[in-house]
Amino acid sequence: MPNDETESDRLELIHHLMTLLQSGKLHLAPIGDNPGRVLDIGTGTGRWAIEMGDMYPSADVLGIDLSPIQPLTVPSNVRFQIDDVESPWVYSNPFDYIHCRYMAGAIGNWPALAKQTFHSLKPGGWVEFQDWDHNIYADDGTLSDEHTLRKWNVELLKAFSGMGREGCPGPKLQTWVQDAGFKNITHEIFKAPVGPWPKDKRYKEIGMANLCNLLEGLEAVTLAPFTRALGWTADEVQVLLAGVKKDVKNPRIHSQINYHIVYAQKPLSE
């Protein structure tokens, strides 16, 4: 994705969407009232890390990301560092809680990342992975394989795979965490509508946030994978995206995606 003001705004929207899905919560892992060292992987604009620092004065929150787009004015217990999460970790002290959210398409080796979080936690510490299953579907059959939205979705996931990236990490998180050695694993799945088609007020708000996120990032997330991995031209991509936009704005198509949250504990003794 581009590193610009538009992308920063989209990341703020994503934070809003993900807290809506969790009924306003920043996390589901039972980290207690006074967590210590907290690591936020792929912190983006740093919004989650900042709100965690405000909520937990006891916490020492470190947010890491490849892009230096975080604000300079932050709570005294929050700091940011430019780092590649897939490079060797060199943190001097273990963490009490590690948080990793929305890294679909960004990680080359998920099992290795899960193992690294295990080794970097204190015994008894918690890890929490939150990510999407980007397979778009409709429970009521209003979205079919003939819709441009589904055709785009299938091709995008194919492109991610061709680039060595996992576009749907959500359903696999539990297996990766379990294989890394974690115990007390909880896996929760949240349905996220695409568009304000639900009648329920909360889900209508979630759907609108999800739609805005998709529309704002649609061209940026599509252009490089399609042209580099699938051999499409830029003009062919734009024609396809026009159809995608039409489908996601169609209130008769009740599309949605699933958001997976997995949290687990490192055993007190190995």
| Segment 28-87, tens digit of pLDDT | 999 999 999 999 999 999 999 999 999 999 999 999 999 999 999 999 999 999 999 999
Per DSSP, what are the bridge partners of residue 80? 63
- pLDDT of 193 > 70? The answer is yes
Residue 204, pLDDT score: 97
Residue 9, pLDDT score: 80
Residue 26 structure tokens: 């920043």
Phi then psi for residue 109, to 5 deg, are -135, 90
CATH of the domain at 127: 3.40.50.150
| Structural domain boundaries enclosing 27 | 5-265
Is 12 part of a structural domain of the chain? yes
Phi then psi for residue 231, to 5 deg, are 80, 20
**For the residues 84-99, what does the mean pLDDT come to?**
95
Residue 15, pLDDT score: 93
Q: Element (H or E) spanning 128, and its range?
A: strand 121-137
Residue 1, pLDDT score: 47
**For the residues 177-206, what does the mean pLDDT come to?**
97
Residue 10, pLDDT score: 79
Enter the pTM of the model. 0.94
**For the residues 146-170, what does the mean pLDDT come to?**
96
CA angle, residues 92, 94, 99, in degrees to nearest 5: 120
Is 49 part of a structural domain of the chain? yes
* Maximal C-alpha separation, the chain: 57
Is 136 part of a structural domain of the chain? yes
Buried b (16+ CB within 10 A) or exposed e, 134-152: bebbbeeeebeeebbbbeb
Is 41 part of a structural domain of the chain? yes
**For the residues 182-194, what does the mean pLDDT come to?**
98
Mean pLDDT of the residues in the chain: 95
Is 18 part of a structural domain of the chain? yes
Radius of gyration of the chain (CA): 19
| Side chain identity at residue 71, one-letter code | P
- pLDDT of 2 > 60? The answer is no
Q: pLDDT tens-digit profile of 256-266?
A: 999 999 999 99
Is 270 part of a structural domain of the chain? no
- pLDDT of 4 > 70? The answer is no
- pLDDT of 270 > 80? The answer is no
Q: How many domains does the chain have?
A: 1
